Amino acid sequence: MPRYDILHVVPLTDDQYDDFQRAVTTIHTESFGVPSLFVNVAFTNITSQVQFIAGKKRQGNHLIAHVRLGNRTKEQLQKLATDIIAAWDRTVVEPHASEGKAETRRRKLHSVFILASDVVGTEAGLPVPIAGKEAEFLKSHYVEIKRRADEGDDLMVDTIEEIKQRGML
């Protein structure tokens, strides 16, 4: 948790996929102080999907994010949306600015929805922490994360490295 689903009709290069997912991961981890272990980003090309916007058959690019609510404010979540839109524009829109206004409009995100709720579940075999309680979560699960890292679980190896680099414990 969170999960960011990007539904796009414009073609994206591998570099654009990578650059945008990295931007989303960074924005989320820096905004809320969480390890990237929990940030999931998925892209779906919906070019063949029939869409209606304002009652007419139209295509658009959309982002739907499911995030934990906890004590996060509407202002924090709106800033998250604004920062993500800016990252999309840098990655997907601006490189094609010379192609004209119609192409710029086609490449923009039509909608960004941040769906915030309290979540219970598991991720990577660990319980999803309560929003705002990530430090306590890392302390109480560090031994398990370290054990799995020592066994070669590359996700946990990366998590241990990030915990050290960011001073999360």
One DSSP character per residue, 126-167 reads EEPPPTT-HHHHHHHHHHHHHHHHHTT-HHHHHHHHHHHHHT
47 shares its domain with 9 = yes
* CA 72 – CA 69 distance, rounded (Å): 6
The pLDDT value recorded for residue 57 is 95
Rounded mean pLDDT, 93-116: 95
Give the pLDDT mean for 106-116: 97
pLDDT of 169 reads 86
Statement to judge: residues 85 and 149 lie in one domain: no
Residues 91-107 have a mean pLDDT of: 94
Residues 104 and 70 in one domain: yes
Task: Identify the domain containing residue 148 by its residue range.
Answer: 133-169
CB-count exposure of residue 131 (10 Å: 0-12, 13-18, 19+):
buried
On the question of pLDDT at 84 being above 90, the answer is yes
Which H or E element spans position 42? strand 40-45
State whether 41 and 121 are in the same domain: yes
Same domain flag for 99 and 73:
yes
Cβ(137)–Cβ(36) under 8 Å?
no
Q: Domain total for the chain?
A: 2
Would you state the pLDDT for residue 119?
A: 84
The pLDDT, as a whole number, for residue 141 is: 96
* Residues 140 and 119 reside in one and the same domain: no
| pLDDT tens figures, 141-163 | 999 999 999 999 999 999 999 99
HSE-CB for 99 with a 13 A CA cutoff: 11
108 in Cβ contact with 89 (< 8 Å): yes
Instruction: Give the model confidence (pLDDT) of 125-135 as tens digits.
Output: 999 998 888 88
- Across the chain, mean pLDDT equals 95
Question: Residue 132's pLDDT is what?
Answer: 86
Q: Is residue 105 domain-shared with residue 36, that is, in the same domain? A: yes
Residues 16 and 72 in one domain: yes
Residue 102 shares a structural domain with residue 157: no
pLDDT > 90 in the chain, percent: 90
State residue 130's pLDDT score: 87
Banded model confidence at residue 83, pLDDT cuts 50, 70, 90:
very high
Which has more pLDDT, 134 or 23?
A: 23
The confidence band for 1, taking pLDDT boundaries of 50, 70 and 90, is confident
> Are both 138 and 73 inside the same structural domain?
no
Indicate the helix (H) or strand (E) that contains 43.
strand 40-45
144 and 114 in a common domain: no
Phi, then psi, of 48 in degrees rounded to 5: -85, -5
Same domain? 73 vs 101: yes
